[in-house]
Each structure stands twice: as structure tokens, then as C-alpha cells.
Amino acid sequence: MSKNYRAELVGAFGNPIDENPTGVMEEAAFAAKGLNFRYLTVKVDKEDLEAAMNGVKAFQMKGINLTIPHKVRVLEYLDELSEAARIIGAVNMVVNKDGKLWGENTDGKGFLISLKNEDVSVDGKNVVILGAGGAAKAIGVECALAGAKKITVVNRSRERGQDLAHLIAEKTSADSQYVSWDASYRVEPNTDILINATSIGLYPDVDKKPDVDYNTITPSMVVSDVVFNDPNTLFLQEAAKRGSHTVNGLGMLVNQGALNFTLWTGTEAPLDVMTDALKKEFGL
């Protein structure tokens, strides 16, 4: 039998990219599944994105992750988009389907799976999202597409917050409203799921937490954070003190990585292996 020395290639394009840990969990998953795939963490400047995407085709790569600053601009170089990616207007991953590039956004889907793994459904629920950036947008749109009743967007910058609330109300069947964030946010008692989708609390600012009146958080609420480094954020610690069910950002990270793995390889992802690899990397 002839040997195959050629590895299948996937990876990530971004800048900054040096500290992106995704390759650690994807490489661990390839090894666990005995797949000859390599995950390349590649620094690509804004103005070089077109050349880099042509490279994906020229090298016949199976696909690529996109991160800052390419998630929106890359749409110009794609042939097709998933429904969620079209609504969000940003992709975090691309699959090369026989030379045609298909874009998907797995951030929000990874978030929903992390809730589902904790027996939490968003169907019919009142969801409050702190933040209106890339992560908030992906989560808001996916929660709405998964049947959430209402999405409240709480954001410091009014324009960004209003844009996200309008987008959800226009493009999905969920209700959505923007609430300004110029004072400590008081969580409405009918809130089912409260999510920090800002970068507040991200390393090295682990002593910071979103400006919320934490005494308005009740035990009936599920409280989640997208920040994964360190996953035990002050925000989640405060919610846990009020008896809430908390879900940290590690699940979202691992599950979006697992979805990407499956879309690229056609193989079920070894979730435990990927989780362990990341925890080890973060010293948890």
C-alpha cells in the first residue's frame, strides 16, 4: 500500500494571534482521533487577508478559523454563508468544500451547547446580554434562532447596543430591546438567563467585574460568562453567592472548537480530550 505523507491543513488567521490557544485543543483532538491534520496558527495582517484566503484554496486547506481583525472582512472572499453567519455578518470559521469557501459562525452555537450540557434551554426564555461586540452578537442571534422569547442588550456604547437589538428584532422572531448602561445594571426579576459577553474580567483584569447590582440576581437565574481566562470570573462568583446556576466560558470555547473539528474532519470531536488539553494549558 502506498504511503501518504501529506497532512490535511486547518488553522487560524489573525493579528494579534500569538496567544490564541485554539491549536492546543485541536491538535490534541487530531492526535486522539489518529487524524493526520495540522492546525497552523498564522499571523495575517488586515491588508493580506485576500492573499491568505487565496492561500487556503492554493494549499487545499480543509478550512480556517478567523479572528481579530478578519471576522467581518473575510465575507468578501467567501462563496457561501450559513444562515447564522449571514445574519451576524461575521464568521469565525470557514470550510473549504472542494474549492468553494463556506463561512459559519460557531461562537454562538458553542455557547448554546455549553448551556445544553448543563440542561439549560433558551427556548421561550428572557435572556439579558451584557455587551454588544462580536461574542454578544453571535450569542444574541443564536439564542433568538433557538427560540428565546426576548433578548435584552445592555451595552456601554449606545449605537452598538441599539444596532444589535434592531438586528435581532428584524431578522429573527424574538423580541429585543436595548437598555443603556450608564448606571449599575439592575437585573429584571423575570430574567431567566444573564450573560456577560463583554471582555470585563479577562486576564490580566481578573479583579474587575461588570457594573451590575448583584443583589438583583436571584437563584432562579442562570448566569453565564464568555470570559474563559480565568473561567472562574468575579462575575460568576458574585452570581454563585446569590444561588444562581453558573456556566463558565470554557464550555463555549471547547464546544465551538468541537463544532469546527467536526465540520473540518467529518468526525465526532473528542470533547473530554479537548477540555483537558485547554485546562492543562491554562493551568486549571
For ligand NDP, the binding residues (CB under 6 A) are: 107, 110, 131-136, 155-157, 160, 198-200, 202, 226-228, 249, 252-253, 256
User: Rounded distance, CA 60 to CA 237, Å?
Assistant: 45
Which residue from 7, 171, 1 is spatially nearest to 83, judged by alpha carbons?
171
C-alpha cell at 108: 454562538
Q: Which is nearer to ligand NDP, 173 or 199 (CB)?
A: 199
Which of 3, 33, 71, 109 is catalytic? The answer is 71
124 labeled part of a ligand binding site: no
Q: Which is nearer to ligand NDP, 62 or 109 (CB)?
A: 109
Q: Which is nearer to ligand NDP, 95 or 135 (CB)?
A: 135
CB 134 to ligand NDP: min, Å? 4
CB 169 to ligand NDP: min, Å? 18
CB 232 to ligand NDP: min, Å? 14
142 labeled part of a ligand binding site: no
Among this protein's residues, is 208 annotated catalytic?
no
CB 60 to ligand NDP: min, Å? 28
Residue least distant from ligand NDP (Cβ)? 133
134 labeled part of a ligand binding site: yes
258 labeled part of a ligand binding site: no
Helix H, strand E, coil C: the string for the chain is CCCCCCCEEEEEEECCCCCCCHHHHHHHHHHHCCCCEEEEEEECCHHHHHHHHHHHHHCCCCEEEECCCCCCHHHHHCCEECHHHHHHCCCCEEEEECCEEEEECCHHHHHHHHHHCCCCCCCCCEEEEECCCHHHHHHHHHHHHCCCCEEEEEECCHHHHHHHHHHHHHHCCCEEEEEECCCCECCCCCCCEEEECCCCCCCCCCCCCCCECHHHCCCCCEEEECCCCCCCCHHHHHHHHCCCEEECCHHHHHHHHHHHHHHHHCCCCCHHHHHHHHHHHCCC
131 labeled part of a ligand binding site: yes
Q: Which is nearer to ligand NDP, 87 or 220 (CB)?
A: 87
CB 102 to ligand NDP: min, Å? 20
133 labeled part of a ligand binding site: yes
Residues serving a catalytic function are 71
Annotated binding site for NADP(+): which residue ranges? 83, 131-135, 226, 249
Annotated binding site for shikimate: which residue ranges? 67, 92, 107, 256
